[in-house]
Amino acid sequence: MKELTDPDVIPVWQPQGYSTYQITKEIAAKTGKKATHTGVLDPMAEGVIIVLTGDRRLEKNTFSNGTKKYEFDLVFGLSTDSFDGMGLVTQIDLSNKPFKKCIGKVLPLMVGDYSQTVPLFSAQRVNGKKLFMYPRLGLPSPELPVKKGTIFNLELIGYSQIQLAPLITEITEKIKKIRLGEFRQEQILLGWKSLSESIDVNEMLVQATFKVETSRGLYIRSLSQDICYKLGVLGFVTRLVRTQNGIYTKNECCTVEEVC
């Protein structure tokens, strides 16, 4: 960790299993100051978040405007309702496996001005209610908003095959790490267990690794589905890391424990 140049601007490395709200609350308690963050990172993900305390909270919009960089793994053959491992499997087609060259051809089509549909399982507010609350309360899903932004760069940096059995194990271990919050953990764990008992877990799936740079507010989970749509395949995100948030990378980050 590098020494903070401004004690009220705190870049933090959010570990997998934590929520951004949880970290912000802990920092507020430790510093004795009001705190806010500049954008949520999913608890199944990890990476750079920015927490602002004191009067710096009033500059939230300024700090939120920085570009974001991510690395993510997209596994083809299954889809979930959350577009990542923290969801219920909705469709399966293990036979349709995209070739590396096909993936490479669609990525340039995504670069530039970009619109995406916000995922239902997100903290985006619609009619004053966070979207993930609609299914939690048994309410009909509202019309999902569309976000516009820019994809500055999108690259395929890895292409391999992964067996389904260890993938399910990896996903369930990540879910068990989530410390607080109601994210349907029990239901989702049962879903992955049921899947492992109902299909051939020795099946090999294609896994592609990407790095991307985006403008503020875009969802990598939605981007993953747009990639799948252009390829004509199913897929979901199994790993997501925010490697840069504005000017901050992991090198500038502290942990919650290091904040005083």
Quick: pLDDT tens for 206-259. 999 999 999 999 999 999 999 999 999 999 999 999 999 999 999 999 998 888
Q: Find the mean pLDDT for residues 178-200.
A: 91
| CATH 3.30.2350.10 domain extents, the chain | 70-244
**Tens of pLDDT, residues 124-148:** 999 999 999 999 899 999 999 999 9
**Mean pLDDT, the chain, whole residue set:** 94
Give the pLDDT confidence score for residue 128 in this predicted structure: 94
Q: What does pTM read for this prediction?
A: 0.94
Question: pLDDT at residue 9 above 60?
Answer: yes
Taking residue 200's Cβ as centre, other Cβ atoms within 10 Å add up to 9
Q: Which of 6, 8, 42, 84 is catalytic?
A: 42
- For 215-236, the DSSP string reads -TT--HHHHHHHHHHHHT--EE
Please enumerate, as own/partner, the contacts of 180-189 that have beta carbons within 8 Å and a separation of 24 or more. 180/19, 180/22, 181/19, 181/22, 181/43, 182/136, 183/43, 183/86, 184/86, 184/88, 184/136, 187/88, 188/86, 188/87, 188/88
- For 116-134, the DSSP string reads EEPPSSSS-EETTEETTHH
Q: Find the mean pLDDT for residues 155-176.
A: 97
Among the ranges given (3-12, 24-33, 59-68, 83-92), the one the predictor scored with the smallest mean pLDDT: 3-12
Question: pLDDT at residue 31 above 70?
Answer: yes
**Tens of pLDDT, residues 77-133:** 999 999 999 999 999 999 999 999 999 999 999 999 999 999 999 989 999 999 999
**Size (the chain), residues:** 260
| Beta carbons within 8 Å of 93's beta carbon, 6+ residues apart | 77, 233, 234
Among the ranges given (136-150, 152-166, 174-188), the one the predictor scored with the smallest mean pLDDT: 174-188
Its CATH class, for the domain covering 70-244, is: alpha beta
| Beta carbons within 8 Å of 235's beta carbon, 6+ residues apart | 74, 75, 76, 77, 78, 79, 224, 225, 227, 228
- Pairing state of beta strands 46-53 and 235-245? parallel
Task: Name the residue among 238, 243, 239 with its Cα closest to residue 252.
Answer: 243
Among the ranges given (12-16, 78-82, 175-179, 197-201), the one the predictor scored with the smallest mean pLDDT: 175-179
Residue 226 annotated in active site: no
At residue 106, the 3 state secondary structure works out as helix
Q: Find the mean pLDDT for residues 173-202.
A: 92
2 pLDDT tier (thresholds 50, 70, 90)? low
What angle is formed at CA 24 by the lines to CA 224 and CA 40, rounded to 5 degrees? 15
